[in-house]
Amino acid sequence: MTTTTKPARPAAASRGRRPAAGALALRQGRLEITQFLRSRESVVFTMGFPIIMILIFASIFGGTIGGGVKFTQYFITGMIATGLMTVSFQNLGIWIPIERDRGVLKRYRGTPMPKWVWFAGKVIMVVAIGIAETALLLAVAVALFDLDLPGTAGKWLTFGWVAVLGVTACTLCGIAISSLARTARSGSAVVTPVALVLQFISGVFFVFTDLPTWMQQVAALFPLKWMCQGLRSVFLPESFGAQEPGGSFELGRVALVLALWCVIGVVLCLTTFRWTTKRDG
Amino acid sequence: MSETSGREVPAVVHIAIPRGTGTARSGRTLDGMDDELAISVRGLRKAYGDNVAVAGVDLDVRRGEVFALLGPNGAGKTTTVEILEGYRRRDAGEVSVLGTDPAQPDADWRSRVGIVLQGTGEFDELTVAEVIRHFSGFYPDADDPDKVIERVGLAGKAKARTHTLSGGQKRRLDVALGIIGRPELLFLDEPTTGFDPEARREFWELISDLAAAGTTIVLTTHYLDEAEALADRVGVIADGRLVEVAAPNRLGNRQEALATVSWRTPDGTLESAQSATPTALVADLAARYGGEVPGLTVTRPTLEDVYLTMIGHAR
């Protein structure tokens, strides 16, 4: 056999250009959003839950919490925070184990797609759904319960950074906690109790300062309490800051704790994330 | 034989048909092995705790070859293949796949390797065309998604959600995703398990077409007829060891094996003899009986006989 009969194969150079990474991330995000929107359970429970809750709460507690501030004005902050946590932490913590179990993640790993593109797709999906869901929630609250929207650019800015930092922390923690679930079905068993307990102790369903002090202190270890507190500074009058446990809205501390959880989330993701199930090696 | 290869290549040389779509490489790599071999494995070992899944496998697969790993369930087929695919870490041994160590896969290598896993990764909410189109975007030199859909026989199902596909159709989708990047090397892990006979025939044709286009193919199977129909060479794996590697018709020296000649004696009892020269024996019998030999049969071991003996020996 001479060298001339050697099978020809395309040289690396003759192959087309590697697809641009930014475009890949956007395509991945679009695919994730499509998958989310086509999954009826996701849409109803993730997008609908905070709206159903605000409808119930606003209907039960029609009064004010003092100072002429409506109850809705207080609870909208908890509902926005809960909604953001649902689309990021719960959504990912429940869906990633299902995708891992089905072998979807393993299949992605077998392609030349850079790993980060998959994570970027999830983040794009969470951000898009989070914005849509928050806008819907605000629209419902304004239309039905006379919610007062923030009046200054500064407050909208605070709204923006609290939401971004909170969603980032919850997204990272959702990806991290997805590795705790051993099977597709156990994802929601792992995530739901965590989310529910955090909602109760972080002042989503009650006025935070009415909770026992020890409970407030436990809640202060986790992001949700700080997301609620940051949002209260946006939706409540300045004077209400005095009623917070720290005597003010403590925006600096809100930023610090949420940023810390982002760091914790990244570390957990990098150290614990699995593309395949345990039985899969 | 290439003089730069510097290693002994087994006598059976498979000359691959160059792929029509690719352009010939202008230069030669320094690694001569890379020119001839798509896969080279030496002393591969992998254990899960006390359970040794792969116990020292040596294996060469040449470019353009169709190689079948045949073995019973739990023999180590999937572990071996998933190490070659870059999914699992090995405990020991040297592995080179397309000149790269699969334990350090990079994007370029990934784009040259196509993978059809044993379990299907389903995208329930998407259509066949959406999934294939999406995956085509990952590869620098992807095939046309519509052509690939046609080629795997899913044209009528392009707009169907993947969860509505039958088992065989899902497997076709898996293959479509395996070949969308126009790989040089395609792994297929038990591709036809659960197929009806007709679907298997169609699937074999698809694989033969890919092989004819120059794609190197490594498949695992526990179907003997599949290995016989598709593979240039078969590696029989049992208890984590490669028991034999040979062309399907040469497995277990099947060609040279003694033939069994049986006939019936005049008193009705069945007589049989093993012979290297069965024709002479039959002629001798014919002379002895003066013509027709009652109940005469001449048999050689089937692939199945050989295979069962092999995996039996390994236990």
Find the mean pLDDT for residues B83-89: 93
* Binary contact (A27, B18; C-beta < 8 A): no
pLDDT of residue B149: 95
**pLDDT class of B301 with cuts at 50, 70, 90:** confident
Output the average pLDDT for chain B: 84
Angle CA B83–B87–B92, to nearest 5: 35
**Residue B268: how many other CB atoms lie within 10 Å:** 8
Q: Please give the residue that has the higher pLDDT: either A163 or B26.
A: A163
Residue B6: strand, helix, or coil: coil
Q: Does the CB of B102 have a partner CB in chain A at under 8 Å?
A: no
Task: Tell me what pLDDT residue A280 has.
Answer: 60
For position A16, what pLDDT does the model report?
61
User: Which residue type, as a one-letter code, is found at position A126?
Assistant: V
The fraction of chain A above a pLDDT of 70, given in percent, is 93
Of B25, B125, B140, the CB nearest to A38: B125
What mean pLDDT do residues A23-49 have?
Answer: 90
Q: Between B199 and B9, where is the model more confident? A: B199
Quick check: B38 and B185 in contact, CB under 8 A?
A: yes
- pLDDT for residue B12 is more than 60: no
Question: What is the C-alpha to C-alpha distance for residues B219 and B239, in angstroms, rounded to an integer?
Answer: 18
pLDDT tens-digit map of B214-259: 999 999 988 888 988 999 999 999 889 998 898 988 887 777 778 8
Name which of A1, A4, A6, A98 to mutate to probe chain B: the one with the most chain B Cβ atoms within 10 A of its Cβ. A6
How many angstroms away from the CA of B174 is the closest CA of chain A?
A: 10
Token pair in block for residue B161: 């959600």
B122 CB neighbours in chain A (<8 A) are: 102-104
In the sheet that B37-48 helps form, which strands lie side by side, from edge to edge? B51-62, B37-48, B92-97
**pLDDT of residue B161 exceeding 90:** yes
Task: Name the pLDDT band for A82 (thresholds 50, 70, 90).
Answer: very high
More confident residue, B249 or B158: B158
- The partner residue sitting opposite A103, judged by closest CB among B21, B108, B117, is B117
**Residues A272 and A176 sit within 8 Å (Cβ to Cβ):** yes
Dist CA A86 CA A47 (whole Å): 8
Q: Which range, of A140-154, B12-26, B71-85, B250-264, averages the lowest pLDDT?
A: B12-26
Distance CA A91, CA A187 (A): 10
What DSSP assignment string belongs to A100-163?
Answer: HHHTHHHHHHTSS--HHHHHHHHHHHHHHHHHHHHHHHHHHHHHHH-PPPP-SHHHHHHHHHHH
**Is the per-residue pLDDT at B305 higher than 70?**
yes
Question: How much of chain B exceeds pLDDT 70, in percent?
Answer: 87
Q: What pLDDT score was predicted for residue B200?
A: 87
